[in-house]
């Protein structure tokens, strides 16, 4: 059985705002399936005493002091923006009111 | 909609409310959460941004130590356990208020968990459970343009300013609060008030609701006695303490009317409207939100060591509840008097006024009397009435020194509120000082006696009470700027009568 279905790939593409064609769905579903099965093999050999790892470096508490550093100028900040107006990034209208926080 | 809402008393007689509060506090650090951009309020758009908070490729976040400390201190003040090890999480969503297309937050490993905050409601202590306190980053500000109203609906485009993006934001979530019955709205308000005071006492945020540095979402549900908790709604856009109370009450009434009509409550986000006191539904979500949280790969885990946490705990200031108890004793107030001071939001103001030299009684008199009246009239918080504790202490000093009487003091206070300067300056500039020059006063007294021979005779014959008319006449010629007691003594002296 496949580790990921074509429908799941379509769902992920939607969540990621990726426009994926029907043809690409078949391709990616196949490729992702290979990747997931390979990872599953690693999972099989990992013993109970090996905790899941989210970070490859054994570091904690990398913090910085609360000291102001120079910012970009608004011109620099907006230089890569597709569009700007009133010193702000200009984006197409948004209808989805879901905001974080 | 014109459905008639049931009476509140009936609603709480039939249903039991469960409330919950989610509060966001913007920390007052110098710099943002993940970069060294300053956090000061009100800069020109996109002047406090850098590659990190703009999410430019190749940039990496580094956590702000002061923000971590502030969050741990909030957690400790709320009696939470501090995680020995936790990670930040990436919350993926697509909205241009975050240029990265994700927000760095915390998910299943919050920094602080399982605490409580005791609040006083109607003389009773209610213990509010704290589920979690976690740290995340604030979003940018979007300006919707092209629509008729500047609101999101009908807008043709949005303009984004990222100055606020990345400012440290602490989220404090209560456990569900059942069992408060008819008091649910007051409990909600008391909790947010107490939380605000606790955070303010820690000095980690200015916690001003009107400026958005403290924001609150209110969860409300109703159930029949003995049955399971009902479906809850989440009310956003609650921007004042009074609104917290109103939002809970209005949502209780609305849900009761839906349930009474045999309907069911939809789990949804609703928006509170300050003007009407009602809530309206937000856009319904077609699909359940899936933020695809995963451990933030650009940040290493956080492991606050025990010694650090102990040090932060030892350095916590006296918390508001204990401070109030101490102050009540020091000021010799009854429970009722103390409650009125607390309800008026005057504890800190009176304390500061006393520190500036006034007696507790005098400080309390000004803040609970004249200044509370002004605050109510103009609909502002007492602290924003335009008079500082220092002003009040100075004013009282002038009264105590005999330079102002009560009436003149109130006129001077008007001047302070009007921004004319300090009480002493206003008194001098406006010539409001009590006439203490005995020469001038004696002349006014003699004038009054000469103008009212009948009254003077009555007083001479022993009817001392009649002197009131002469005092009135003197006060009139001195335009109220004489001390009535001194005037009276002078009159009696001139007429050769013992007071």
Number of domains comprising chain B: 3
Please tell me which residue, B203 or B339, carries the higher pLDDT value: B203
Q: Is residue B44 within 8 angstroms of chain A, CB to CB?
A: yes
Residue B283's pLDDT band, with cuts at 50, 70 and 90, is low
Average pLDDT of the residues in B223-235: 95
Res B1 pLDDT > 70: no
Cβ-based contacts of A67 with chain B (< 8 Å): 30-31, 36
CA distance A101 to B165: 11
More confident residue, A56 or B232: B232
Q: Does A75 touch chain B (CB under 8 A)?
A: no
C-alpha distance from B48 to closest chain A C-alpha (Å): 6
pLDDT at B226: 92
In a domain, B489, yes or no: yes
Partner A contacted by B43 (CB < 8 A): no
Residues B140 and B214 grouped into a single domain: yes
Evaluate whether residue A22 is within a structural domain: yes
pTM metric for this prediction: 0.79
Cβ B218 vs Cβ B188: under 8 Å: yes
Would residue A74 count as lying in a domain?
no
- Last residue in a domain, options B380, B398, B425: B425
Domain extent for A23: 6-45
Letter string b/e over residues B196-215, b meaning 16 or more CB atoms within 10 A of that residue's CB: bbbbbbbebbebbbeeebbb
pLDDT at A101: 41
pLDDT on residue B45:
96
Query: Does one domain contain both B344 and B373?
Result: yes
Parent domain of B483: 438-494
Instruction: Answer yes or no: is pLDDT of B149 > 60.
Output: no
A12 within some domain: yes
Same domain, B223 and B351: no
* Residue A32 in this model has a pLDDT that exceeds 80: yes
- Kindly indicate the confidence band of residue B288, based on its pLDDT and cuts at 50, 70 and 90: low
Question: CB distance from A47 to chain B under 8 Å?
Answer: no
Q: Smallest CA–CA separation between A24 and chain B, in Å?
A: 22
B416: in domain: yes
- At residue B152 the predicted structure's pLDDT band, cuts being 50, 70 and 90, is low
Do B233 and B103 lie in one domain? The reply is yes
Report ipTM (2 d.p.).
0.86
Burial readout A3-27 (b: 16 or more C-beta within 10 A, e: otherwise) = ebeeeebbebeebeeeebeeeeeee
Same domain, B273 and B377: no
Average pLDDT over residues B76-84: 98
Identify the band that residue B499 occupies on the pLDDT scale cut at 50, 70 and 90.
low
How far apart are alpha carbons B344 and B381 in whole angstroms? Answer: 9
Q: Are residues B407 and B453 in the same domain?
A: no
Q: Looking at the partner chain, which of B50, B136, B297 has a beta carbon nearest the beta carbon of A101?
A: B136
**Structure confidence at residue B106 as a pLDDT band (50, 70, 90):** very high
Which of B109-118, B255-264, B379-388, B427-436 shows the lowest mean pLDDT across its residues?
A: B427-436
How far apart CA B88 and CA B302 sit, in angstroms, is 8
Same domain, B175 and B40: yes
Question: What string of DSSP letters covers B399-436?
Answer: HHTTS--HHHHHHHHHHHHTT---HHHHHHHHT---B-
- At which of B308, B332, B358 does a domain end? B308
- Asked whether residue B433 is domain-assigned, the answer is no
Which position has the higher pLDDT, B429 or B198?
A: B198
Is residue A37 included in any domain, yes or no? Answer: yes
Binned at pLDDT 50, 70 and 90, residue B335 comes out as confident
Tokens of B428: 């001098």
**pLDDT reading at B191 higher than 90:** yes
Residue A100, pLDDT score:
40
Asked if the structure places residue A79 within a domain, the reply is no
**Structural domain includes residue B499:** no
Q: What is the pLDDT of residue B469?
A: 87
Find chain A residues with C-beta within 8 A of B143's C-beta: 88
Asked whether the predicted pLDDT for residue B125 surpasses 50, the reply is yes
Rounded mean pLDDT, B216-241:
94
Distance in angstroms (rounded) separating the CA atoms of residues B361 and B172? 37
**Do B303 and B236 sit in the same domain of this protein?**
yes
Contact pairs from chain A to chain B, CB under 8 Å: 163
CA distance B294 to A29: 21
- State how beta strands B102-105 and B89-92 pair: antiparallel
Is residue B470 in a domain?
A: yes
- When pLDDT is cut at 50, 70 and 90, the band that residue B340 belongs to is confident
Q: Do B49 and A72 touch (CB under 8 A)?
A: yes
Q: Are residues B199 and B347 in the same domain?
A: no
Q: How far is A8 from chain B (nearest CA, A)?
A: 13
Query: Of chain B residues 265-324, which have a CB less than 8 A from chain A?
Result: 282-283, 285, 289-290, 292, 294-295, 297, 299-304
Q: Which helix (H) or strand (E) holds B121?
A: strand B112-121
Packed helices B320-331 and B184-202: angle between N→C axes, nearest 10 degrees: 90
Counting the structural domains of chain A, the total is 1
Q: Do B175 and B281 fall within a single domain?
A: yes
Rounded alpha-carbon distances, angstroms, from residue B166 to B52, B97, B142, B281: 9, 11, 14, 29
| Residue range B362-373, pLDDT digits in tens | 999 999 999 999
Q: What angle do helix axes B335-343 and B320-331 make, rounded to 10 degrees? A: 130
How many angstroms separate the CA of residue B118 from the nearest CA in chain A? Answer: 26
Whole-angstrom distance, CA of residue B358 vs CA of residue B366: 10
* Residue A18 falls inside a structural domain: yes
B393 has a pLDDT exceeding 80? yes
Classify A59 as helix, strand or coil: coil
pLDDT value at residue B148: 57
Handedness of CA B455, B460, B463, B468 (dihedral sign): positive
Q: Which of B249, B274, B308 is the last residue of a domain?
A: B308
Farthest-apart Cα atoms in chain A, separation: 58
Of the two residues B437 and B411, the one the predictor is more confident about is: B411
Mean pLDDT of chain B: 90
Query: Is residue A32 included in any domain, yes or no?
Result: yes
pLDDT of residue A97: 47
Q: What is the mean pLDDT of residues B254-260?
A: 95
- pLDDT-wise least confident of A82-91, B47-56, B377-386: B377-386
pLDDT of residue A50: 81
Interface test with A, best of B33, B300, B302, B312 (most A CBs within 10 A): B300
Give the pLDDT band (50/70/90) at residue B437: low
Q: For residues B391 and B481, state if they share a domain.
A: no
Q: Residue B467: which CATH number?
A: 1.10.10
Two structure tokens written together for A34? 């290979």
Q: What is the mean pLDDT of residues B418-440?
A: 82
Q: What is the mean pLDDT of residues B293-300?
A: 95
Contact B213, B238 (CB under 8 A): no
**Number of Cβ atoms within 10 Å of the Cβ of B220:** 28
pLDDT higher than 70, residue A98: no
Retrieve residue B73's tokens: 């201190």
What is the phi/psi pair of residue B377, to 5°?
A: -60, -40
CATH (domain of A21): 1.10.20.60
Chain B partners within 8 Å of A15 (Cβ)? 92, 290, 292
Whether residue B274 is found in the same domain as residue B151: yes
User: For residue A82, is pLDDT > 70?
Assistant: yes
User: How distant is the Cα of B164 from the closest Cα of chain A, in angstroms?
Assistant: 13
């Amino acid at each position: 059985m496949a580790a990921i279905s074509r429908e799941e790939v379509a769902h992920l593409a939607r969540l990621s705002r990726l426009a994926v064609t029907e043809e690409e769905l078949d391709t990616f579903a196949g490729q992702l399936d290979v990747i997931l099965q390979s990872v599953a093999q690693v999972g099989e050999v990992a013993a109970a005493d090996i905790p899941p790892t989210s970070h490859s470096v054994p570091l904690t508490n990398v913090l910085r002091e609360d000291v102001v550093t120079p910012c970009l100028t608004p011109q620099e900040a907006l230089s890569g923006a597709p569009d700007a107006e009133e010193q702000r990034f200009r984006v197409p209208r948004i209808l989805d009111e879901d905001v974080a926080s | 909609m014109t459905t008639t809402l049931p009476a509140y008393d009936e609603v709480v007689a039939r249903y039991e409310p469960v409330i919950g509060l989610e509060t966001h506090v913007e920390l007052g650090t110098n710099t943002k959460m993940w970069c060294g951009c300053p956090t000061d309020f009100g800069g020109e758009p996109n002047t406090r941004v850098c590659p990190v908070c703009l999410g430019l490729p190749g940039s990496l976040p580094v956590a702000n130590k002061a923000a971590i400390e502030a969050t741990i201190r909030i957690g400790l003040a709320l009696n939470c356990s501090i995680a020995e090890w936790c990670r930040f999480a990436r919350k993926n969503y697509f909205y241009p208020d975050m240029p990265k297309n994700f927000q760095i937050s915390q998910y299943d490993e919050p920094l602080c968990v399982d605490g409580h905050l005791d609040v006083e409601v109607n003389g009773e202590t209610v213990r509010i459970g704290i589920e979690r306190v976690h740290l995340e980053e604030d979003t940018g500000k979007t300006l919707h343009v092209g629509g008729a109203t500047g609101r999101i609906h009908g807008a043709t485009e949005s303009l984004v300013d990222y100055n606020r993006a990345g400012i440290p934001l602490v989220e404090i979530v209560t456990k569900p609060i059942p069992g408060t019955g008819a008091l649910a709205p007051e409990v909600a308000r008391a909790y947010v008030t107490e939380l605000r005071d606790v955070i303010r006492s820690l000095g980690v945020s200015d916690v001003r609701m009107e400026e958005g540095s403290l924001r609150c979402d209110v969860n409300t549900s109703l159930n029949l006695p003995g049955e399971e908790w009902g479906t809850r709604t989440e009310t956003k856009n609650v921007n004042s303490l009074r609104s917290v109370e109103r939002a809970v009450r209005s949502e209780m009434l609305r849900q009761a009317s839906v349930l009474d009509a045999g309907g069911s409550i939809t789990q949804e986000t609703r928006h509170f409207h300050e003007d009407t006191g009602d809530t309206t539904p937000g856009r319904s979500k077609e699909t359940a939100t899936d933020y695809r949280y995963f451990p933030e790969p650009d940040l290493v885990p956080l492991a606050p060591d025990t010694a650090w946490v102990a040090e932060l705990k030892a350095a916590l200031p006296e918390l508001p509840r204990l401070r109030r108890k101490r102050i009540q004793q020091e000021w010799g107030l009854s429970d009722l008097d103390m409650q009125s001071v607390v309800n008026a939001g005057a504890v800190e103001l009176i304390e500061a006024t006393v520190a500036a030299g006034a007696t507790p009684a005098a400080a309390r008199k000004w803040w609970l009397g004249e200044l509370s009246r002004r605050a109510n009239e103009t609909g502002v918080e007492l602290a924003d009435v335009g008079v500082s504790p220092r002003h009040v202490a100075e004013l009282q000093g002038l009264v105590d020194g005999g330079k102002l009487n009560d009436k003149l003091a109130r006129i001077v206070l008007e001047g302070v509120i009007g921004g004319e300067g300090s009480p002493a300056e206003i008194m001098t500039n406006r010539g409001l000082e009590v006439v203490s020059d005995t020469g001038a006063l004696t002349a006014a007294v003699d004038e009054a006696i000469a103008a009212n021979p009948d009254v003077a005779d009555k007083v001479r014959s022993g009817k001392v009470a009649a002197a009131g008319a002469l005092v009135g006449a003197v006060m009139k010629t001195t335009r109220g700027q004489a001390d009535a007691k001194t005037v009276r003594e002078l009159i009696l002296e001139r007429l050769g009568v013992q007071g």
